[in-house]
Amino acid sequence: MKKVKFSFLVLAGSVALITSSCRKDVTKNLSDAESRVYITKHDSTVNFANYQTFRIADSVSVIKDGKFVTHAYNAYDSSMIAALTQEMIQRGYQLQTDDTVVPDLGINVSRIITDYTGNVSYGDYWGGYGNYWDPYYWGYRGYGYYFPYAFGTYTFREGALSVDMLDLKNPNTSTNKLNTIWTGLGRGTGIFNVSNVNEETQALFNQSTYMQQ
Amino acid sequence: MKQVIKITLFFASAIIITQASMAQQGLQVSVNYNASTPLGSSFRDYVNKTSFRGLQESVLFGINSHFRVGLQSSYNDFYQKYERQVYKFTDGSDVSTVLSNTLQTVPVFAKGEYSFLNKGFLKPYVGLGAGINFVNYDQFLGGFEYDKHYTKAAFTGDAGVMVPFSRKSNYGFRLSTSYNLMPFNKEGVKNLDSWNVQTGFTIPLN
């Protein structure tokens, strides 16, 4: 009987040990750069060559736990806006510097900071809490934003960079909506480090080969 | 943790059931290291590296000098990291990520073994088993985890030898190989069949 009890304890202990400890620790086997994920999605009905000019919002929306906090412009924000501007110019788009002229494309940048594990979709944070950049900023008073394609939901456990490209050339006058034709999302360790800005913008644009004037 | 509890309960049940006839029957425990190679194109698309993180345990009860029946369980952790690529998802999104595919299998079998010889330096045997497979599918996009748990059927066939420590000893080394048939059709992975090699010890309990 003692032997049976001993064997049971050995077996139970062994099973508990192997199932809890004998696993490859995946995250420890990833560098910070490898931990980052870049997701883009676009309106497949849009021909990006039909747009000539663009402008990027002059600061970044900070969204914490799904709620708009402030518009910010720190070192990371300014670097990101500059890098995005450069990427757009390299693809043949012209920066519209005259604030009185509405460009063909408007780009909003957001930093999303979430402290919980949950599903946050683009629709949630745009639709649920209003527009962090009022469409009036782009010259469309009384308009809202519209995402013509359904976004998947992604689980956030930390900061995420969100870049949204708006079609200002073809506002939907019947619904008063501005069509969002491209979105980019970057997530992972060090996503808000200034030193990673170029890698982030290149990743988002390199996988969006259709975006070319 | 739930898997540990379930497996522990299985082994506890086996021991309790067989306790009544312990006085006259032989109970043996085997603890083996287990290496497992994925088979089948779908499974190998997900992970094609051999798992060297594994263990196999069995509690077998000798019905007579040739046949043993009981329970066997094993554990293997499969892991493979793929360098950064852009993946096109079915929802139309493009995702640039380093992909880490992992999968843990814990099959628990009701098993029978037949030993060809009772004496001698080598005791060859063959075995067959059927049971359930606790599967943990765990995929990482960068540092972001997606995991799911499944319970499926599992079957095994194995062959091996027991090498006694001495001529009359029932303690011994054990070396075996097995084929695990594991039906599965989830998360784009079809069947988790594997070829396995085990080595370890056999310990008699009475």
Give the pLDDT score at B13.
Answer: 53
Which two tokens mark A96?
A: 């519209």
* B4: chain A residues, CB-CB within 8 Å: 15-16, 19-20
Selected residue of A9, A11, A158, A183 to mutate for chain B interface (largest B Cβ count, 10 A): A11
Given a cut of 50, is residue B124 above it in pLDDT?
yes
CA distance B9 to B3: 10
CA distance A89 to A107: 13
A40 vs B4: which has the higher pLDDT = A40
Given a cut of 60, is residue A131 above it in pLDDT?
no
CA distance B73 to B56: 6
Give the pLDDT score at A188.
Answer: 86
* B96: chain A residues, CB-CB within 8 Å: 37-39, 203, 206-207
Q: Is A207 on the interface with B (CB under 8 A)?
A: yes
Side-chain-side CA neighbours of residue A205 (13 Å): 21
What mean pLDDT value characterizes chain B?
A: 86
Mean pLDDT to the nearest integer, B7-35: 62
Nearest by CB to residue B81, choosing from A29, A39, A155, is A29
Give the pLDDT score at A140.
Answer: 76
CA distance A103 to A76: 24
Using 50, 70 and 90 to split pLDDT, how confident is the model at A21? low
Task: Give which of B159, B101, B104 is closest to B133, Cα–Cα.
Answer: B104
CA distance A146 to A123: 9
Give the pLDDT score at B107.
Answer: 96
Given a cut of 90, is residue A81 above it in pLDDT?
yes
The verdict on a CB contact (< 8 Å) between A34 and B12 is no
Give the pLDDT score at B49.
Answer: 95
Give the pLDDT score at A124.
Answer: 39
Given a cut of 90, is residue A135 above it in pLDDT?
no
Q: Is A28 on the interface with B (CB under 8 A)?
A: no
Give the pLDDT score at A5.
Answer: 58
Q: Which residues contact B95 (CB under 8 A, 6 or more apart)?
A: A37, A38, A39, B86, B87, B89, B141
Whether A178 contacts A134, CB under 8 Å:
no
Lowest mean pLDDT among A32-36, A169-173, B164-168: B164-168
Lowest mean pLDDT among A101-105, A188-192, B31-35: A188-192
* A157: chain B residues, CB-CB within 8 Å: 144
Instruction: Write out pLDDT tens, residues B133-181.
Output: 999 999 988 888 888 999 999 999 999 999 988 877 778 999 999 999 9
CA distance B103 to A144: 44
Task: Nearest chain B residue to A154 by CA: give it.
Answer: B144
Task: Nearest chain B residue to A153 by CA: give it.
Answer: B91
Give the pLDDT score at A96.
Answer: 93
The verdict on a CB contact (< 8 Å) between B77 and A3 is no
Whether A114 contacts B144, CB under 8 Å:
no
| DSSP secondary structure of B112-173 | EEEES-SSSS-EEEEEEEEEEEEEEEEEEETTEEEEEEEEEEEEEEEEEEEEESSTT-S-EE
* B7: chain A residues, CB-CB within 8 Å: 15, 19
Which two tokens mark A94?
A: 């012209």
Give the pLDDT score at A93.
Answer: 97
Fold classification of B2-17+26-204 is Porin (2.40.160)
What mean pLDDT value characterizes chain A?
A: 80
Whether A162 contacts A124, CB under 8 Å:
no
Q: Which residues contact B82 (CB under 8 A, 6 or more apart)?
A: B98, B99, B100, B101
Given a cut of 90, is residue A94 above it in pLDDT?
yes
The verdict on a CB contact (< 8 Å) between A15 and B27 is no
Task: Nearest chain B residue to A42 by CA: give it.
Answer: B93
The verdict on a CB contact (< 8 Å) between B100 and A203 is no
Q: How far is B158 from chain A (nearest CA, A)?
A: 21
* A187: chain B residues, CB-CB within 8 Å: 142, 144
Given a cut of 90, is residue A90 above it in pLDDT?
yes
Given a cut of 90, is residue A213 above it in pLDDT?
no
**What are the structural domain ranges in chain A?**
33-206
Mean pLDDT to the nearest integer, A140-159: 60
Q: Is the dihedral of CA A147, A152, A156, A158 positive or negative?
A: negative
The verdict on a CB contact (< 8 Å) between A12 and B8 is yes
Given a cut of 50, is residue B61 above it in pLDDT?
yes
Q: How far is A46 from chain B (nearest CA, A)?
A: 14
Q: Cα B152 from chain centroid?
A: 13
Give the pLDDT score at B42.
Answer: 94
* A19: chain B residues, CB-CB within 8 Å: 3-4, 7, 75, 104, 106
Interface A:B, Cβ pairs < 8 A: 133
Given a cut of 70, is residue B206 above it in pLDDT?
no
Mean pLDDT to the nearest integer, A70-92: 96
Task: Nearest chain B residue to A17 by CA: give it.
Answer: B4
Using 50, 70 and 90 to split pLDDT, how confident is the model at B22? very low
* B11: chain A residues, CB-CB within 8 Å: 8, 11-12, 15
Lowest mean pLDDT among A70-79, B16-25, B153-162: B16-25
Mean pLDDT to the nearest integer, B48-70: 92
Given a cut of 80, is residue A8 above it in pLDDT?
no
* A40: chain B residues, CB-CB within 8 Å: 93-94
The CATH number of domain A33-206, selected from 3.30.160.670, 3.90.1150.10, 3.60.21.10, 3.30.310.50? 3.30.160.670
Given a cut of 60, is residue A171 above it in pLDDT?
yes
SS3 assignment, position A203: helix
